[in-house]
Amino acid sequence: MNKFYHDILTIFLRDLLIRTKSLTMLLNMILMPLSYLIFLSLSLNNMLSKINFAGISITYLEYVFPGILIIGALQISMLCGSLLNIEKRSDMLETILSSPISRMAFIFGRLINSYILSFADLFLILFLVKIISPDISLSLGFILLGLLTIFLFSTIFSNISLILASILKSEENYTAFISITIVVVTFISNVFYPSSSLPMILQKIAMINPVSLAADSLRYTMTKNYQTILQNILILLIISLVFLIFNYKVFLKAQK
């Protein structure tokens, strides 16, 4: 058991070193939420004085920043598969898997890396939100729920990215598929606007979209609708477990 934890730590530290050495990734973590908050939120915040959410009136910035937290975690999670593609191309993956490190430790080490970076991104965005709009309330309960939501959400999409990287043989196909996935799950959701503004069929899809479920889990803290929050968290938990198990089976099969 100690070896299993040591293997997880080894993969985690290795991935963290690779990711943090990438200037592009670090700039993306900082500039992406900053650009959303400044150029999108503030401009629309002036155009849309108030938005009705679950019976209460809130500013557009209050509505959109939980979604920006989720989109940040989405982009970080998708890097899991990108790393796997790089390792496949350089034959580094074969070297890692020929070592005594277990497949499950490899997956967990990579997932934990996504968690840590997503948590860092969460605190960065919350810091920027308080600078831009000091009146927005960020309670301890909101932050703790944010960490739990990001944990489950990152589990889902980190596993999805690893599944796609295992199945798709071409790096070009993987990159194209991931780009399409990010666009689809972002815009068929309630991240930037209430899903009620979508066509009816897209509203149905948005209701079960993990992006919408995660964003709403955070928004409902403003209305203290704990039943809906618990419901969304349970759905995210079930989806994350399904994709974790599926990823393990696909990864084992693909790397034999």
Q: Which amino acid is at 107?
A: I
**pLDDT at residue 237, as a whole number:** 96
SS3 content of the chain, % helix, strand, coil (to 5): 80, 0, 20
Blockwise average pLDDT, block size 10, the chain, 256 residues: 80 80 67 74 67 80 89 88 77 72 85 91 88 84 93 95 85 85 90 86 92 93 86 95 91 68
**pLDDT at residue 62, as a whole number:** 85
**pLDDT at residue 167, as a whole number:** 86
**Is 54 in contact with 220 (CB distance < 8 Å)?**
yes
Provide the whole-model pTM.
0.89
**pLDDT at residue 42, as a whole number:** 65
Say how many domains are in the chain. 1
Q: Dihedral (C-alpha) 119, 71, 105, 20: value to the nearest 10 degrees? A: -60
**Is 62 in contact with 129 (CB distance < 8 Å)?**
no
213 vs 67: CA distance, rounded Å? 10
**pLDDT at residue 87, as a whole number:** 77
- What is the residue range of 168's domain? 2-254
